[in-house]
């Protein structure tokens, strides 16, 4: 089963996938170098140059692999608690939000109307900076939302319950023009889509 970005278990699967891709991208130029060496009986040939240049995609993939390896997957117990509490709210999980100056890991985001509430268990993540970065990008794309990231699970679960309880009033009277590129997505799903676009 394929795990997509924003779903539970994404980083676990992504680490394996990126490791295999990186290995393949390094094996191809290595095979070219070995073939050129066996054919010309010296490493000073055009195939060596091609093999060295051919390492560039592998190097790029290695950077992505290192970034993925640095991220931990969400604890299954925490995921179950959040999933059960969130119910039918639009949710995304396991996101490493990137920005120019700082990045941060967010375990989960709940999207309901103009409220986007996240939970981060990572001590290195600055919740205020990460939330303001996400809010700025969402507002630049025409979504006047308030973004908050909580550090403690208990208050986050309470906030999810509150969002579910007041969902109808939170989503009431919000004007929404569907995006032509994604006509099937609701407003909440488009906000989720934008958050995933700035995530690793």
Residue 2 lies in a domain: no
In a domain? residue 5? no
Please, what is the end-to-end C-alpha distance for the chain in angstroms? 20
pTM: 0.85
Average pLDDT over residues 66-78: 92
**Rounded to whole angstroms, how far apart are CA atoms 29 and 26?**
6
Q: Is the predicted pLDDT of residue 101 greater than 90, yes or no?
A: no
Is residue 126 domain-shared with residue 178, that is, in the same domain? Answer: yes
Confidence of residue 140 (pLDDT cuts 50, 70, 90): very high
Task: Assess contact for 85 and 59: CB atoms under 8 A.
Answer: no
For residues 126 and 182, membership in a common domain is answered with: yes
Instruction: Assess whether 36 and 104 both reside in one domain.
Output: no
The count of structural domains within the chain is 2
Mean residue pLDDT across the chain: 93
* 164-197 pLDDT tens trace: 999 999 988 888 888 888 888 899 999 999 999 9
Domain that holds residue 100: 76-197
- Confidence (pLDDT) at 72: 86
Asked if residue 85 and residue 25 are part of one domain, the reply reads no
Q: Quick check: 104 pLDDT over 80?
A: yes
Q: Is residue 1 part of a domain?
A: no
Residues 90 and 165 in one domain: yes
Q: 117 and 186: one domain?
A: yes
């Amino acid at each position: 089963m394929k795990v997509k970005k924003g779903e539970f278990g994404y980083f676990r699967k992504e680490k394996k996938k990126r490791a295999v891709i990186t290995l393949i991208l390094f094996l191809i130029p290595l095979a070219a170098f070995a073939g050129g060496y066996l054919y010309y009986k010296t490493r000073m040939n055009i195939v060596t140059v091609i093999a060295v240049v051919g390492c560039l995609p592998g190097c790029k993939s290695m950077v992505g692999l290192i970034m993925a390896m640095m991220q931990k997957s969400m604890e299954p117990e925490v995921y179950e608690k959040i999933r059960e509490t969130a119910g039918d709210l639009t949710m995304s999980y396991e996101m490493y939000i990137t920005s120019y100056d700082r990045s941060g890991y967010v375990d989960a985001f709940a999207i309901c109307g103009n409220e986007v509430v996240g939970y981060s268990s990572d001590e290195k993540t600055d919740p205020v900076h990460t939330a303001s970065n996400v809010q700025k990008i969402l507002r630049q794309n025409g979504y006047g939302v308030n973004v908050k990231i909580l550090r403690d699970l208990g208050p986050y679960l309470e906030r999810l319950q509150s969002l579910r309880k007041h969902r109808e009033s939170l989503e009431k009277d919000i004007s929404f023009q569907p995006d032509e590129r994604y006509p099937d997505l609701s407003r909440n799903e488009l906000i989720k889509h934008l958050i995933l676009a700035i995530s690793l």
